[in-house]
Amino acid sequence: MNRPRTLVAGIGNIFLGDDGFGVETARLLAARDLPDHVEVVDVGVRGVHLAYQLLDGYDTLVLLDATERGGTPGTLYVIEYDGPDGGDTAPAIDGHRMTPDAVLALLDTLCAGTGGQRPRRVLIVGCEPATVEEGIGLSRPVSDAVPEAARLVGELLRDDPAGLARVPAADTSTEGDNP
């Protein structure tokens, strides 16, 4: 029996301030010793690439991304993704602006043609941004949240190594010690 595979993907645009949160967290995680069944990638703005990579067969997908939910900048969220919130789910093929909904919709289209399957579990580890204006570098609260986000992903992987259990339906939010 094959061991379940997990893909941890940092997404975001490093030229838009805190939108680079996912990329920075992926870089930190990639330097850590993780189980063999876990792969960490810096996807950046290449959403189409992510959809094609998922065709390789992963049981769990963890997306790392800046996530605006109205909290204090630097607040971390763990969100169980169970489908789009409504609206248009057709894959808008703009590889630089693909949301999780669009990536997974494209993956569904690709799977239909290849017989592949999407991951059974999709989690988003998000961080409330302070700014997503043009500029390189994270704000202090988001930069301070990166190590905590990496620790949180490590906990998720350690507590659920097979990647098959479900987290509670409600978001799990953590406030950092950020000013």
* pLDDT-based confidence at residue 84 (cuts at 50, 70, 90): low
**pLDDT, tens digit (0-9, with 9 covering 90-100), for 120-137:** 888 989 999 999 999 999
SS3 category, 25: helix
- Res 55: pLDDT: 81
Q: What is the pLDDT of residue 109?
A: 76
Torsion angle of the four alpha carbons 73, 129, 23, 34, in this order, in degrees rounded to the nearest 10: 40
* Domains of the chain, first to last: 1-6+56-160 (3.40.50.1450)
Work out whether the CA dihedral 26, 30, 35, 39 comes out positive or negative.
Answer: positive
- Given the structure tokens 């838009």, which residue do they identify? 16
The Cα 87–Cα 171 span in angstroms is 21
Tell which residue, 33, 32, 61, has the closest CA to residue 147. Answer: 32
Kind of pairing, strands 60-66 and 6-11?
parallel
Tens-digit pLDDT profile for residues 21-76: 999 999 999 999 888 889 999 988 877 778 878 888 888 889 999 989 999 999 99
Q: What is the pTM assigned to this prediction?
A: 0.79
